[in-house]
């Protein structure tokens, strides 16, 4: 079983290597073809580069004799004026292999006197990596959630009754003792009408006025006291 696992692992690695080679394999270009890197007798290197596509990772091979030529990467301004005073990079030994590490415009010249003006210069455009973009991941969007039922509206509880009990009836005051005066104890107030003259009344005939009633006799008081004592004795006899 372990042997089968090892075989499967090696097969997978080999397949991966093939895929990587087929997708991201770098190309190698010999600048100028059979002519190599020199002062061209006719034309320029622009004709050689016109039918080629350069990508990041490709390699340029400049074939030249050491001491007779060199290759310098320069800016566009230096390329146009054939100025080699401030090169980006320099290779003096041939052949020189230069790897294209960045995309965009790249400019190369030979710094030997008169070679750049004679046409020993190269300008190329480098594009990004040609590896295919990864396939988009499958959509894993979840279905929209079902709407949850809204809870029933809460019925408000009745507020507690705050009505106060009816007040107790007001106490009726006990009648006070009678203050009626005995006849003849006081004189009636005079009439308040001053406009009508008072007519003097004729004096009552002599002997017509009745005398006031005599005070209660002492015999009556003794009789009441005797009755009370009799009832008291009867009550005491019943109790004992």
Task: Specify the pTM.
Answer: 0.47
Give 124-137 pLDDT, tens digit per residue: 999 986 554 455 55
Give 57-68 pLDDT, tens digit per residue: 999 999 999 999
pLDDT confidence of residue 235 = 72
Integer Cα distance of 119 and 90 in angstroms:
18
pLDDT confidence of residue 239 = 74
Please give the span between the terminal C-alpha atoms of the chain, in angstroms, as a whole number.
129
> DSSP for 68-120?
TB-EEEE-HHHHHHT--SS-SEEE-SSSEEEE--S-EEEEEE--STTTTTTT-
Helix (H) or strand (E) holding 23: helix 2-24
Give 140-169 pLDDT, tens digit per residue: 555 555 555 555 555 555 555 555 555 555
Give 166-192 pLDDT, tens digit per residue: 555 555 455 544 444 444 444 444 444
Of 84, 42, 92, whose CA–CA distance to 64 is shortest?
A: 92
Phi-psi map region of 138: left, alpha, beta (phi>0 left; psi -120 to 50 alpha)? beta
Of 69, 60, 63, whose CA–CA distance to 123 is shortest?
A: 60
Peptide bond into 188 cis (omega under 30): no
Is the pLDDT score of 35 beyond 80? yes
Domains of the chain by start residue, with CATH: 26-127 (2.60.40.420)
């Amino acid at each position: 079983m372990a042997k089968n696992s090892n075989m499967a692992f090696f097969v997978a690695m080999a397949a991966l290597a093939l895929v990587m080679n087929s997708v991201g394999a770098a190309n190698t270009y010999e600048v100028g073809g059979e002519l190599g890197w020199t002062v061209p007798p006719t034309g320029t290197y622009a004709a050689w580069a016109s039918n080629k596509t350069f990508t990041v990772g490709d390699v340029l091979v400049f074939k030249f004799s050491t001491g007779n030529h060199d290759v310098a990467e320069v800016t566009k301004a230096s390329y146009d004026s054939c100025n080699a005073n401030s090169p980006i990079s320099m290779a003096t030994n041939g052949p020189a292999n230069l790897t294209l590490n960045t995309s965009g415009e790249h400019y190369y010249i030979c710094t030997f006197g008169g070679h750049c003006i004679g046409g020993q210069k190269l300008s190329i455009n480098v594009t990004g990596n040609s590896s295919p973009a990864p396939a988009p991941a499958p959509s894993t969007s979840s279905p929209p959630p079902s709407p949850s039922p809204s809870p029933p509206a809460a019925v408000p509880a009745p507020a507690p009754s705050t009505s106060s009990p009816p007040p107790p009836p007001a106490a009726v005051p006990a009648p006070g003792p009678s203050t009626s005066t005995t006849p003849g104890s006081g004189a009636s107030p005079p009439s308040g009408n001053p406009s009508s003259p008072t007519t003097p009344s004729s004096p009552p005939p002599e002997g017509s006025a009745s005398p006031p009633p005599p005070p209660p006799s002492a015999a009556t008081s003794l009789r009441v006291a005797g009755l009370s004592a009799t009832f008291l004795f009867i009550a005491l006899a019943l109790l004992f």
